Every structure is written in structure tokens, then in C-alpha cells.
Chains A and B, each alone.
Chain A
Amino acid sequence: MSYRNGCIRKTRHLRIRPVPELETCLVYTPKDPNLYALNATAWVVLELCNGRSLRDLEEAFYRAVEPLMSARDAAEYLAASLGDMIEKSIVEVVPKAQSRRIRSARESRAT
């Protein structure tokens, strides 16, 4: 499924270890065993991937980097980063309905 139609979230069982003193974040992808270092911008993208649609992600990412980047440049950064992270199994695309179910289950668990 194209990420343009679904929702994007972190892959299951992803291990995230921030290393702020080196301005990086290490992630381990058990699905396709590998270790990656994300720079701070990619880390922001990763943290925003919690089941948002692409449109919501674009808005959230732009809000995180404005006014230093234009909406168009921010969308370009985001698209490049998402493509890269999907390929490396760091984030995954799920259908919108599934994402909604997961989010509502999480919310009911929280309450």
C-alpha cells in the first residue's frame, strides 16, 4: 500500500534509544534485523509517525520546523524521510481503518 493512502506508524517491536548527547537516535528493527542512526530531523519524523495520515504528518512536521522551512520544503523532507524509513522497516503503512481501531483501543486502555 502506498503511504499516501494509508496511515503511518512505527513498526511493531521497534526499539528506540535516544542518544541526545550525539544528537542522534538509534533504532533497531527486529523485523529486518538492523541498527540505524537517525539524525535529529529524521528522529522528529519518526516520533510523529503514530498512526497519522500523510496529510496530518505533513501538517505536524511543518509545525515542528516552521518558520525556518517553507511548507513545501518541509513536505519534501518528510516524503524523502518516510520513503527511506519504510524501505528500512522503521515505519510501516497501515490502512486507515486499522489505524483508527488501534488508536481507539489505546485511548480506551488509557481511560
Chain B
Amino acid sequence: MTSSKNLDLAKRLALRRGAPAAPTVTEVPTEIRSNMIISLPPPPAVPLDYIIGHLVIEWAFRLPLSKVREFNAFLADKEALIAQSCEKLMKGVHYRGTYMTTHGERLEYRTYWAYDSQEAHKQWEIGLRDPGSNFVAAVRRLRSYWIGDPNGSHRHFSPGALFAAESGGAFNQFTLETAEHLAGGVGSVRPPPAPKAAGRRKKSRR
């Protein structure tokens, strides 16, 4: 590797976690008996402390214009209750607000939930345990507006950087490999078998 490539690589790695760490030079103890194997500690994971969440869920829905005032009033009354109850009742589940957006003349709402991990989604079993609570009533009403829109969507987002080391499951890995294979045979997918030639052609008799 040339020196300029080394420099580029070193710079990239130095800035992976934002501000570079203090420079360190550590002596590596070696032993003849170590059979040329050197033990180095693995680098810590890149902290994604700038992201909204490890998992973000978006509910997108439209409301009839006749319900807009009612819904905005509901948000003004209940959003703080929902947000604070999430923090209190569940670990790693955060309500990040419902936003009104305009698409031309149509109004659309988007609600965002952020989770500190993929597993945090299971915390809803705790959060929804008491069906008569103020929190559950507020979430039920919020969800009912989403249900009311037959074209409402419910989308999951995960930071792309998380997939640098792990592909996000077997099926994602399979999809990536297939795409890479189609792009030029980079992936480890075996090429599909070539179609068999049709049966022998009969010799034409002249």
C-alpha cells in the first residue's frame, strides 16, 4: 500500500468516532513461543450518539380537514403525557412528537417513536399493561387517528451505519449479495446455473 493510501486510511479511521482520540503508541510484548500471533484488543464500537434512535418508527396518516382542529387540540393536551409516560414506564422508548406536514393542499401527520435498541420495542408489553391508564387511553386515541386513514403507513428506520459491520439479518445479507452479484460479481453468491440448451435439433434433411 502506498504512503498516500496509508495516510487516507489512517485519516478515515482517526475520524470515525468524530474528534480523534489522543495519539497513543503502545509497546506490543512479543514472545518466540507466541508463534507469531499478536494479541491486540478490538476497537470499541462506533458510538452513534448523534442519531435519533437505533430504531425509529414513523406513522404517517392523513385526516379529513374537519378533524384537524380536534386532532391538534388532542396533541396539545396529551403529547406531554405520552412523552413523559414513555420515559417513566418503559426503558429505551421515546415519543418524539407528531408533526404536521403539507403536501400541496393536503395535510398529513407524522408521528415518530425512537428506540435505543431493537429489543426496546418489547417494552410496550410493560407500557400497555394497564388498559385503563391515562397513557394507554392517549396512545389508543393517537393510534385511532392513524387507523382512520386507510392509506396510513407505518415505517421502520434503522441507521445505515449499523449495517456496515452486520448486514441486518440473513435475508438482508442475501439481498445485498444478490445486488452485488448483479452489479459485477462482487458478492459471494454463486451465479445462477446457465439455462440448459433445448433438446437436440433434428438434422434437417435436404
Contact = CB atoms under 8 A, between A and B. Distances in A.
Interface residues of A, number: 36
Contacts of A40: 10, 13-14, 16, 20-21
Given A22-B40, A37-B40, A68-B19, A42 B24 contact: yes
B15 A35 contact: no
Chain B, interface SS category: loop
A23 to B, nearest CB: 4
Contacts of A88: 25, 27
A19 B174 CA distance: 28
A41 B25 contact: no
Contact of A90 (B18, B25, B38, B41): B25
Contacts of B9: 18, 20
Interface in A1-20: 16, 18-20
A91 to B, nearest CB: 10
Interface in A31-57: 34-48, 50
B7 A47 contact: yes
A44 B10 contact: yes
The 4 closest A-B pairs by CB, nearest first: A42-B23, A81-B23, A40-B13, A40-B14
8 contacts: A22-B41, A36-B25, A36-B26, A39-B24, A41-B21, A43-B14, A47-B10, A64-B11
